[in-house]
Amino acid sequence: MALSAATPAQPKGATGCLVLADGTVIWGKGFGTTGSAVGEVCFNTAMTGYQEVMTDPSYDSQIVTFTFPHIGNVGANEEDVESRGLGAVGCIVREEVTPHSNFRARDEFVEWMKNHGKIGLSGVDTRALTRKIRLEGAPNAVIAHEPGGNFDVPALLKQAQEWSGLEGLDLVPNVSRTENEDWRGGHWQLGLGYTESNAERPHVVAMDFGAKDNIFRNLVKAGAKVTVVPGRSTFEEIMALKPDGVFLSNGPGDPAATGEYAVPVIKQLLDVDVPLFGICLGHQMLGLAVGAKTSKMHQGHRGANHPVQRVGAGWGDSQGLIEITSMNHGFAVDADTLPPEVEQTHVSLFDGSNCGIAVKGKKAFGVQYHPEASPGPQDSFYLFEKFIGGLSPE
């Protein structure tokens, strides 16, 4: 349903709404769980993988607007879940969710949303909402679903206006594991599920700032044995596990806020030359650890079609090569603040923002995008092989 700067009369049959902090009210049909949730409204341009998007912990405290109109038509299953019920608090879609039509489906998307405590809103002009976000930036809002259509719009508006937003917010405690976990399960294969390997492998300790499970599967596929540890793990706790390398995962929130406790640990790991590989939030905190700064983006990058170019020295024949990548981030490393000992390795061809760094003289690098491709293209799997290939078994 159309956007309005004022509060429009509630249409007949409206069982859901989105109330933006600027007073805009968007009506539609609610689905999933009932109630309300506050968050930042963003948009994702991926045509597939809506379950992976909705369970990506990087979307904590966010409401995802899908630009692809037919979301939910392949149903839901447990193999495509990327975390333990975490992720986005809600989603906004154009078309009403229809019964599934896919042999892998084990549940309808509407029921899956309800079972996972997430709110959906259908019947929305998602092109108009996306355009508003692109022009004005990602707004704070409340999404609500009430089957009887009874909404206290002024109260929802007050909630949206009083929410602090993501800037300055450390959300890692909401999504990180609280105990160490020896990861089991490799790459997925049709009919076989997630395979395992017990071979002798380099040991990677993965700091969980809100990781997607497919990241760990890709580390295993690339040849690693993986131990996942909480995002608040200390340097001593990590080194006690005798890592051959440390992985810094994706996650939600402001990297500067999470960096209050994570960056000192990363600096210590750099000091003793432990190989490091960071993605998304992990990449941003690696940037902070080497002296760069991060900042909030106007609208962020979220989708499975983002072109990234390899730049800088060391690429050989692949210098200038373009990768199509999967992204989900609202903060970025400011390339102008990188110190001389850090090289920019990748840039976005959408807006020129930083998408990769490498620390000269060390086995430490990071990329802004999600090379595990869940969902998305697999152009960037080489990064896992690059990281694992540079390690020696313990």
**What CATH number is associated with residue 64?**
3.50.30.20
Distance CA 55, CA 128 (A): 25
Structural domain includes residue 339: yes
Structure tokens at 304: 């499975």
Q: What is the pLDDT of residue 2?
A: 45
Instruction: Among 162, 189, 209, give the residue marking a domain's end.
Output: 162
The Cα 286–Cα 207 span in angstroms is: 12
Residue 394 lies in a domain: no
The verdict on 264 and 351 lying in the same domain is yes
Task: Indicate whether 1 belongs to any domain.
Answer: no
Task: Give the H/E segment covering residue 157.
Answer: helix 153-162
Q: Are residues 218 and 121 in the same domain?
A: no
Query: Following CA atoms 40, 41, 47, 48 in sequence, which dihedral angle do they give, to the nearest 10 degrees?
Result: 40
Query: Does residue 10 lie in a domain region?
Result: no
Same domain as 252, residue 315: yes
Same domain flag for 237 and 205? yes
Which residues, in sequence order, are CB contacts of 312 under 8 Å at separation 6+? Answer: 343, 344, 345, 358
| CB-CB contact of 86 with 60 (8 Å) | yes
Q: Please report whether residue 206 resides in a domain.
A: yes
pLDDT (0 to 100) of residue 390: 92
Please indicate, yes or no, whether residues 184 and 106 belong to a single structural domain of this protein: no
Check whether residue 120 and residue 258 sit in a common domain.
no
242 and 350 housed in the same domain: yes
**Matching residue, tokens 């968050």:** 39
Question: Looking at the structure, do residues 259 and 282 belong to the same domain, yes or no?
Answer: yes
User: What's the number of domains the chain is made of?
Assistant: 2
118 part of a folded domain? yes
Ramachandran class of 208: left when φ > 0, alpha when ψ lies in -120 to 50, beta otherwise: beta
CA angle 334, 339, 343 (to 5 degrees): 80
**Domain CATH for 313:** 3.40.50.880
Which two three-digit tokens encode residue 388? 């694992």
The domain boundary, picked from 162, 191, 218, lies at 162
What pLDDT does 60 receive?
98
Residues 74 and 125 in one domain: yes
Over its C-alpha atoms, the chain yields an Rg (Å, rounded) of: 21
Q: In this structure, are residues 16 and 31 in contact, taking their beta carbons and an 8 Å threshold?
A: yes
Among all residues, which ones are annotated catalytic?
280, 370, 372
Cα–Cα distance measured from residue 266 to residue 256, given in angstroms and rounded to the nearest whole number: 13
Domain span at 32: 16-162
In tens digits, what is the pLDDT along the chain, a chain of 394 residues?
445 455 678 999 999 999 999 999 999 999 999 999 999 999 999 999 999 999 999 999 999 999 999 999 999 999 999 998 789 999 999 999 999 999 999 999 999 999 999 999 999 999 999 999 999 999 999 999 999 999 999 999 999 999 999 999 999 999 999 999 999 876 656 665 666 655 579 999 999 999 999 999 999 999 999 999 999 999 999 999 999 999 999 999 999 999 999 999 999 999 999 999 999 999 999 999 999 999 999 999 999 999 999 998 888 889 999 999 999 999 999 999 999 999 999 999 999 999 999 999 999 999 999 999 999 999 999 999 999 999 976 5
> Which residue shows structure tokens 């941003």?
284
Distances (CA, A) of 91 to 88, 165, 220, 236, 323: 7, 17, 31, 40, 28
pTM tops 0.85, yes or no: yes
Same domain, 277 and 300: yes
2 lies in some domain: no
Instruction: Give, for 355, the enclosing helix (H) or strand (E).
Output: strand 354-359
**Domain termination site, one of 121, 143, 162:** 162
Residues 180, 152 within the same domain = no
pLDDT at 317: 87
Is 218 part of a structural domain of the chain? yes
| Residues 217 and 118 reside in one and the same domain | no
Residues 6+ apart with CB under 8 A from 208: 176, 177, 228, 229, 230, 231, 249, 251
